[in-house]
Amino acid sequence: MAEKQAKKGKETTADKAGSSYTAKDITVLEGLEAVRRRPGMYIGTTGSAGLHHLVWEVFDNSRDEAMGGFCNDIEIALLPNNRVRVADNGRGIPVDVHPKTRVSTLETVMTVLHAGGKFGGQGYKVSGGLHGVGVSVVNALSTWVRAEVHRDGGRFVQEYKNGGKPVGKVKKVSASKANGTIISFEADASIFPDRAFNWDTIVSHMRQQAYLVRGLRISMLDLRNVESGPRTVLKGSQGPSSASLLAGLDEVFYVRELGLDVPSFTFYFEGGLRSLIGFQNHYLEPVHKNIFYVEKEQDGVQVEVALQYVDDISSRISAFANNIYNSEGGTHVTGFKTALTRTLNALDKNGKNGDSFTGDDVLEGLTAVVSIKMREVQFEGQTKGKLGSTEAQGATATVFGEAFAAFLEEHPDDARAIIGKVTLAMKARKAAKAAKESILRKGALDGMTLPGKLADCQTRSAEEAELFIVEGDSAGGTAKMGRDRRIQAILPLRGKILNIERARLDKMLSSEQIKNLVVALGTAIGDIFDIEKLRYHKIIIATDADVDGAHIRTLLLTLFYRHFRPVIDQGYLYIAQPPLFKVKKGKEVFYAFSDEERIKLAGKDIEIESEAAADEQEEEQGETAVAKRTPKVSVQRYKGLGEMNAEELWETTMDPARRILKRVAIEDAQEADIVFDMLMGTDVPARKSFIQSHAKEATIDI
């Protein structure tokens, strides 16, 4: 017995030793390995947004040179084999030996985290870089990087492979009279599943940056389909820019000799933020003529603000700190909003409206850009989505408040128009308040009074619950029979919902269809919207594959974009992909989701039949199947979900194991906002022009 106890005691001691936590259990990651292990901490995601973030990080270094007055030309080129090159005519990264690392400063910047010229000294008064991890992170997440520096009369080169490992030392390869830096890189395929760069995304980002830095020329070249080599030609510029000349010192992508026509853009805006406001309001009707603008330094913070009100119900505020886009706003936006509300209330101090304007009132129809620059900028996280510098709030409020008050006094017509717009918003808010309280507070917030047409699911776990929004009672009935009742809810809509692009909240909530959807979602809407109360974490739009179905889908997307944006941002909104064709080969059944798949399955010359004809042919085929070795092929075209039976709908569109869903994402919120304004707003000429321009891209199902 004692022996057994002793053994048991030893086992217990061994178990404790096996679960010990000592110094040897602490892993120390050397060099850039930490970035490769946890890339999301540095670039947010390894998806498309993270891939493009690599370009932004390299570009930001060149842009910071321009902000300091040392650079006026930047060129971004997409190269073959998923490579990118960013060239500038700035000072060039120093190449002399760094006193601490004992290697070239260029190698230090490229391979050491938190090494850069933005922590102190006189290298940069203002920069977007904060932690000194930008280009080193790009190096860590790439299989190949090449740094080329022109300065001090020489051309210096160093390459890095497999996550930032230097290939030799920095070498002076030739003399050079130029100054500047060229960084080329190839993202690591083991980290980024898709390494295809989106041309439109890069163009949109660079256009925005060109507005923010007056006097900076930014050129973009898509050379992915051009074979590189000496004297390769670019077409469409006024001759090689200084950045092109600089890049040409190594590998020339030059001008005109071969007459190549490649996608290219050059942006240069003297108007700065005024030009950006004009661009954003291109498809909207201004409420007042003059665009407000101020640029002034206050307590070490350079504040720049431009704004204009338009005849719309949405607000658009773009925020930047040291030219870094702050998608989540921050302290500078808080200061701006505070001063805006205070100034407009002071202008209406006689109490003509009988009530004070609220923050929502003064934001309706506002297009504004708030940009601050400061030496010690503080962001919340490496991706810099939100500004945290407290001094920016007071500086922005002071500079903007004083200048906006003076603007309203100097432009009385603009002041009257703005007050009229804000007063209208206040009246609409009061009118909508009763509607919101009666429709939302007793229904959506406590989960009661769900719409009668909603066939809810059994689970109360939002994480596994799915809501299918289908078109019409026919599709709704089929979906209800074919669904998994435990996790799938069905909400049929009757016809086309209200176009909410120009509708105020009280009018929206008077629509039975929209009210049903709001109550079903559970989040409420407007100022009491709460994403935490969303009842389904998969909201699936399932409309018919015809023109009406596409229109209904667009109306629903407009509703979610304008009033349920967090649902999209958190990845909860999807579009179902039902099959277009049912292909029968004898007794075998296949589903095709495109004409290409249908042709591959059935052949090009097989006639597409109606459902009745397909059933009739199936009966005939069954009678003669014994006599014929080669089965007949029939193709049925699905015009709507209601044409499917419950089993077909389940196995093609609703079964989580087999269905195809497209997640709705917003790659560029600003561009999306412009497109929604144009397609769903009141500017008919702009919409007509867009349709004419993209007519050839449309797939017309006759």
Q: List residues with catalytic annotation.
A: 471, 544, 546, 548
**φ, ψ for residue 307 (rounded to 5)?**
-155, 160
Residue with tokens 């390894």: 46
What is the end-to-end Cα distance of the chain in Å, rounded?
Answer: 88
- Classify 449 as helix, strand or coil: coil
Tokens found for residue 209: 């940056």
- Classify 21 as helix, strand or coil: coil
d(C-alpha 660, C-alpha 657), whole Å: 9
d(C-alpha 425, C-alpha 341), whole Å: 13
d(C-alpha 439, C-alpha 425), whole Å: 20
Alpha carbon 270 to chain centroid, angstroms: 27
d(C-alpha 659, C-alpha 576), whole Å: 8
d(C-alpha 389, C-alpha 378), whole Å: 5
371: Cβ contacts below 8 Å, ≥ 6 apart: 212, 273, 303, 304, 305, 319, 320, 321, 323
CB 470 within 8 A of CB 489: no
Nearest to 381 by CA among 674, 45, 90: 45
Residue with tokens 């498809």: 283
What letter does residue 196 receive in the DSSP assignment? P
CB 128 within 8 A of CB 324: yes
Tokens found for residue 16: 């404790």
d(C-alpha 248, C-alpha 664), whole Å: 41
CB 562 within 8 A of CB 676: yes
d(C-alpha 353, C-alpha 433), whole Å: 17
d(C-alpha 271, C-alpha 241), whole Å: 21
d(C-alpha 547, C-alpha 640), whole Å: 11
471 has which bridge partners?
493
Tokens found for residue 584: 């029968």
573 has which bridge partners?
539
Question: What is the helix (H) or strand (E) element at residue 467, kind and residue range?
Answer: strand 466-471
The one-letter amino acid code at 94 reads P
DSSP string over 500-529: GGG--HHHHHTSHHHHHHHHHH-S--GGG-
Edge-to-edge strand ranges of the sheet holding 165-175 = 165-175, 154-161, 142-151, 180-187, 83-88, 73-79, 217-222, 264-267
d(C-alpha 383, C-alpha 688), whole Å: 38
What letter does residue 578 receive in the DSSP assignment? -
d(C-alpha 633, C-alpha 630), whole Å: 9
Q: How far are the Cα atoms of 37, 38, 489 from residue 34, in angstroms, in the given order?
A: 5, 6, 43
